[in-house]
Amino acid sequence: ETGVTQSPTHLIKTRGQQVTLRCSSQSGHNTVSWYQQALGQGPQFIFQYYREEENGRGNFPPRFSGLQFPNYSSELNVNALELDDSALYLCASSLLVRREGRNEQFFGPGTRLTVL
Amino acid sequence: GESVGLHLPTLSVQEGDNSIINCAYSNSASDYFIWYKQESGKGPQFIIDIRSNMDKRQGQRVTVLLNKTVKHLSLQIAATQPGDSAVYFCAEKGDTGFQKLVFGTGTRLLVSP
């Protein structure tokens, strides 16, 4: 186990609703990255938070937003849910010494979101 | 643009055989590569990584080879076991300043007893 936890494990929403997913990073880590994994695909980078600030973003619309808290846990918020948002949402934590560092990312088990 | 692709979507091997999973990447500026294993219902699990200043790195039963000339990455698993059955992803850190990983679509490894 990586020590990265996510909640909830499963979630069902309807189109147009809003959702908040949560991630607790591994002890000692200061960076959380969020990924979306559609069925049968590899994870796609959404964004990363480093020391409570967004540290980079992938090709996702603004209705995908996030937060990182002083204890380095993080939230992913998605507004105006669409059917295509159905996916496994993964968070990964790591320890970066500097903003552009390269380190192992440890993944949590994911939250399975279904949008009806 | 960035893309990471895998040559074979499914690889079937017998227990005890050596497995080789291949991956091609397109971003010549990528400087860090990782192999992940993902079992059903779980998040990706780190296997091994390699930086672009290396061409080979070994772990326990696994070896990663990097050929920057042809932008090719491979994962070798020695004495494959049924517990190795999973989907394997290669991922690269692109040339952005932050640690964005670009994943391929994955290769499913099936190990028969």
- Res B25 pLDDT > 50: yes
The shortest CB-CB distance from B100 to any of A48, A90, A107 is to A48
Helix count (H) and strand count (E) of chain A?
A: 0, 11
Cβ–Cβ contact B89 with A under 8 A: yes
Distance from CA of B17 to the nearest CA of A (A): 26
For residue B6, pLDDT beyond 60:
no
Tens digits of per-residue pLDDT, B38-76?
Answer: 998 889 999 999 999 999 999 999 999 999 999 999 999
Amino acid at the residue A79: N
pLDDT in tens, chain A (116 residues): 678 999 999 999 999 999 999 999 998 898 999 999 998 889 999 999 988 999 889 999 999 999 999 999 999 999 999 999 999 999 999 887 765 566 778 999 999 999 99
Determine the Cα–Cα distance for residues A6 and B96; give it in Å rounded to an integer. Answer: 27
